[in-house]
Each structure stands twice: as structure tokens, then as C-alpha cells.
Amino acid sequence: MKKSICIYFQIHHPERLRKYQFFDIGKKHNYFDNYANRSELEDLAENCYLPANALLLDLIKKYEGKFKVAFSISGSAIDQLEMHTPEVIRSFQELAQTGQVEFLAETYSHSLASLSEDTDEFELQVKRHSAAIKELFGKKPVTFRNTSLIYSDKIGKRVADLGFKTMLTDGAKHVLGWKSPNFVYKNALDENLNLLLKNSKLSDDIAIRFSDKNWSEYPLTSEKYVDWVSHSLQDTEVLNLFMNYEVIGYYNNAQSGIFDFLRYFIIYMMEDDNYEFLLPKEVAKKHPAKDVLPVPYPISWTDEERDTTSWLGNELQKEAFRELFKIQPEVRKKKNADLIDDYTRLQASEHFYFMRTKLFSGADYHKYRLPYDSPYEAFINYMNVLSDFIERCKPHEQEEVQPEQVTNKKRQTRKKWKVTFQSPSPPI
């Protein structure tokens, strides 16, 4: 039986908050720095999304559908791409039309809602995201990945209850023990949910270490990496390479050789009859689960600890999280489109990540993109915004509207993209 390789890329663009002062509370309700968000997105489109999509499309056509790849694009990223760089949406639709690309479901705003056990915000966001993916790419997602691959037994049960049969998470060492991430596993509370585990070592060799000149294996060549992959799969079944899409052309720029590395790695593996590329939804069908994998406490793919302390590791973060989700019932009760949209955007995980006080690992590229001088500044700015938002949620502040109005604006926009999907532009 052929060994399987599953490649998945995450796409999420953080929406920066503008500098929001105490004196703005009650006066200004525009929370986001649209200029910074647009300029960063245009840079990503030029250096990563468009050239990387063109490369993958070329390989899919070259191998007549035998090469396959999966993406998870957050709803907030989709909204920004539609607004600022629609050509990126069209390029993803071209990929979708090949039938060899799977688009996964997630929370709409790349949020931490799965860690809120007292609300249904997680379920609401997943349903909204699934609907958006179906509108844009023609198929309802059947595989789920959570924000930064956050997972626990309880979270997996919630995902299974939403109808998903497969979920992605990290192959954290403290969870696996002696077990290998190169097998399919099952959720401990609902064995109908299959788990695909990130091979952290081989994924991070590309995502984190590829451009690190201090790394003992630098430079990483396609030939060397193929040998590592072959060795890893020697006595196992499936290799899951999960990473941020931005590592292709952005964090690792074109001059690093990342595009040639990716191209020739795929070519070498495709030309070896012992291996095949599969989509996440195909992996669990081909490879029966090896075992149940108990995960009593949440894990993620972030930091050495592979836990959630990057977002909820200090009292600043915990307070912001409590205050945000405490008002969820009131927000949803008001059924106001603007409120719900802002509430969703304020849940994005990066707002909490910027408040972290734990040390960054040496190769963590996120530390170079922090928009605040300190975690305390990030906390104060966020809480100022949240204070204003809470005021808007009070009964006298908003008129109620019908629930269907919540996503009408975005749905109208996506009708245009649906037409484009049916009649795609010429290949890039």
C-alpha cells in the first residue's frame, strides 16, 4: 500500500486594531486599522498567495489531479481578500475547480470560541464559516481544523456533534508519548471523529527553520527533505505537513529558494510510486485509525509547550477573554448586524496573542510582527475597544434587526464571486 502525504495550509490575516484611547469610548465605534490591514494583505498577495497558488495549480495540472492540497481560510481573511485583493479569491477558485483541493471548516474569525464552554459562539461561527466556503468554492466543508489546531477531547466532541468526521490537530509530544503522529487516531469521547496529527518536526523544518542560517541543517534542499520524509514513513502510514501558507514566499521570501524547494519536493515524491498525496477527507477513508488518542486538556501547534498559554497564559489575557465571552448572550440576543460583525472580529486570537508575557522561542516569526510596544499596551488598547463595545450592547444603544441581515452584506458580495467561480478567469 502506498504511503500517504497530506499537505494543509492555513490562511488567516490578523485584523489590526487602531490606537483606541480611553477618551474614544462612547464616541468612536470604528475599531480597526483598515489602512494597515490593506497594506499587509497586498504585500501577502504579491509575495505569497498569488505566486504560491500559481505554483500549486501548475503542479496539479502537471500531474493530472494526482497532486492534492488542502487549505483553511478564515472568514475574516476571506472578507479582507474580497475587499482588497479579489484576484486572490479568483486564484483560489481556480484551484477549487480542479477538484484536487479541499477547503476546510473553522471558526469564522480564527477565534478562541472553542475554549468558551458556556456559550454556543463556537458552533455559530463554524456554521457561518462553512456556509461562506460553500458559497465561494462550491462544496460544503467536511473536515474541520480549529484555530492554531487547538484541540481537546471536549472540543473534538463539539466538532463531531456538528457533523464532521475528520479533524486536524497537532502531534504534541506530551500527548503522543511513544506513539507516532504518522497514523490516524480517534477522539476519546466520540470515536466517529478521526484525528489527523501534524508531524511537527518535518512541518516546522519548512515553516520555522528553512531560512535559519544558524540551523545545523541549513540549507534545506529538496533532496535532503525527501530522504527525511521517506525515513519518517518507513514504518508508518501517513505524513501530515501542516503550516501557515505565509511561510511560502513571505516569511521565507523568494530569494530563500522556497518556491523551488516546494516544487521539486513535490516532483520527487510524485515520481516515486511508493507515495501519493491525499486530501484530509481521503486520509481517514484509506487509513483505519490506529488507536484512541486521549487529550484531556487543550493543545495547539504553538510554542514548545503546544498548549494555549500563548493566548490565555496570563491574567491580562484571561480577563479580556472572560469579559468578551461574558457578553455573548446579550450580543446575539440583540440580533444587530453591526454588533455581531464587530463581536466576531474582536474574537480573533491575535488580539490575545499580542498580550502574551511568555518568552518567544528563538525562531518564532510572530515576534517580529507585534504592533504594540508591550503586552500591557495591547491589553489596554483592547479593553478600551471592548468597553466601548459593551456600551453599545446596552438596551438603549441599538435597534433590533432581523437575524438574516447579519450576513446579507457579505452574501451579496459573494454572489459576485459565485459567478466568477462558474466562469473562471484564464489561468495565472
Q: In the chain, what is the straight-line distance between the N-terminal and C-terminal CA atoms, in Å?
A: 36
Closest CA to 303 of 375, 357, 252: 357
Q: Domain check: are 220 and 339 in the same one?
A: no
Q: Domain check: are 268 and 337 in the same one?
A: no
Does any domain span residue 210? yes
Q: Domain check: are 350 and 205 in the same one?
A: no
Q: Which residues contact 227 (CB under 8 A, 6 or more apart)?
A: none
CA angle 44, 410, 45 (to 5 degrees): 10
Q: Domain check: are 296 and 344 in the same one?
A: no
Q: Domain check: are 252 and 396 in the same one?
A: no
Residue 392: give the domain boundaries: 309-412
Q: Domain check: are 45 and 93 in the same one?
A: yes
Q: Domain check: are 378 and 299 in the same one?
A: no
Does any domain span residue 346? yes
Q: Domain check: are 313 and 223 in the same one?
A: no
CB 103 within 8 A of CB 133: yes
Q: Domain check: are 144 and 163 in the same one?
A: yes
| Number of domains into which the chain is organized | 2
Buried b (16+ CB within 10 A) or exposed e, 216-231: eeeebebeebbeebbe
Q: Domain check: are 301 and 320 in the same one?
A: no
Q: Domain check: are 248 and 226 in the same one?
A: yes
Does any domain span residue 278? yes
**pLDDT, position 76:** 95
Does any domain span residue 426? no
CB 150 within 8 A of CB 112: yes
In this prediction the pTM is: 0.91
Looking at residue 74, which CATH number applies to its domain? Answer: 3.20.110.20
**pLDDT, position 396:** 63
Q: How would DSSP label each residue in 401-426?
A: --GGGTTHHHHHHHHHHHHHHHSPPP
Residue that has been written with the C-alpha cell 484536487 in this structure: 100
Q: How would DSSP label each residue in 314-332?
A: SHHHHHHHHHHHHTHHHHH
Residue at which a domain ends, from 305, 331, 362: 305
pLDDT tens for the chain, 428 residues long, are 899 999 999 999 888 999 999 999 999 999 999 888 899 999 999 999 999 999 999 999 999 989 999 999 999 999 999 999 999 999 999 999 999 999 999 999 999 999 999 999 999 999 999 999 999 999 999 999 999 999 999 999 999 999 999 999 999 999 999 999 999 999 999 999 999 999 999 999 999 999 999 999 999 999 999 999 999 999 999 999 999 999 999 999 999 999 999 999 999 999 999 999 999 999 999 999 999 999 999 999 998 899 999 999 999 999 999 999 999 999 999 889 999 999 999 999 999 999 999 875 544 545 546 889 999 999 999 999 999 999 999 876 544 444 444 444 454 445 444 534 443 333 33
Cis peptide before 219 (omega within 30 of 0): yes
Q: Domain check: are 294 and 363 in the same one?
A: no
**pLDDT, position 424:** 37
Closest CA to 342 of 294, 388, 300: 388
Does any domain span residue 333? yes
